[in-house]
Amino acid sequence: MQILQVIASARGAESYSTRLSQGIINKLRAAQPGSTVVVRNLATQPFPHLEEAHLQAYFTPAEGRSPEQQEAVRHSDEAIAQVLAADVLVIGVPFYNFNVPSSLKSWLDHLTRAGLTFRYSATGPEGLIKGKKVYLAVASGGVYSEGPMQPYDFATPYLHWMLGFLGMTDVTVARAEGLKLPELEPTALQKGIDSVAV
């Protein structure tokens, strides 16, 4: 089994979303010894925001692309190849301003390519990245799984929709939440890890 770990926190070893991801990966590897892990760190190897060159390259057939367009499309090709090669994705999601960090949004923008990762058919949109299992390792200062702040979690509904649009519908959410609340912080990470059955 190949696991793709996507890191979106810039906080290195301190990061809760990375530690929660690691806890999930440890469980996956215990269940399936010999599994390999490929790490894509979006803080140290970011995907650029979509610029004109990327968009032009997407809509130019491969054989007609200029050297600049070939370079521009390389990011997207790389993102897609890494995901297609994986059986399981473990995506760390630091909760930023009620949504995902822009680094994660950029990665998804490069992953979303008409004709390659989704297409429109007579019956509507069809995701072309199929057969993947996805774990979201969400870390947040507040509590969003229940209670008054629940409606303001724009990260997990967006990720559910976006990953599903690309064909990845088997998504499990694990949360380390309440990290800024002294009464919840000490147990939040372990609770998140324990919530995942692999």
Ligand X SMILES: Cc1cc2nc3c(=O)[nH]c(=O)nc-3n(C[C@H](O)[C@H](O)[C@H](O)COP(=O)(O)O)c2cc1C
The contact set with ligand X (CB under 6 A) reads: 9, 11, 15-18, 94-98, 139-142, 179
∠ CA 20-45-180, rounded to 5°: 35
Closest contact distance (angstroms) between CB of 83 and ligand X is 21
Number of other CB atoms surrounding residue 66 within 10 Å: 12
Q: How far is the CB of 113 from ligand X (least distance, A)?
A: 28
Measured in degrees and rounded to the nearest 5, phi and psi for residue 76 equal -65, -45
Q: Which residues is 88 bridged to in the sheet?
A: 3, 133
Smallest distance from the beta carbon of 103 to ligand X, in angstroms? 11
17 is in an annotated binding site: yes
195 annotated ligand binder:
no
Q: In the complex, what is the shortest distance from the CB of residue 15 to ligand X, in angstroms, rounded to a whole number?
A: 3
> Residue 80 or residue 155: which is nearer to ligand X going by CB?
155
Rounded CA-CA distance 50/23 in Å is: 32
Terminal C-alpha separation, the chain: 13
Q: Which is nearer to ligand X, 16 or 47 (CB)?
A: 16
- Return the number of the residue (96 or 165) whose C-beta is nearest ligand X: 96
In this structure, the number of other CB atoms found within 10 A of the CB of residue 71 comes to 13
Which candidate, 13, 24, 58, places its Cα nearest to that of 192?
Answer: 24
Cβ proximity of 21 and 54 under 8 Å: no
Tell me whether residue 21 is annotated as binding: no
- Is 76 annotated in some ligand binding site? no
Q: Which amino acid is at 1?
A: M
**Nearer Cβ to ligand X (19/110):** 19
Binding residue ranges: 9, 15-17
| Annotated binding-site positions for FMN | 9, 15-17
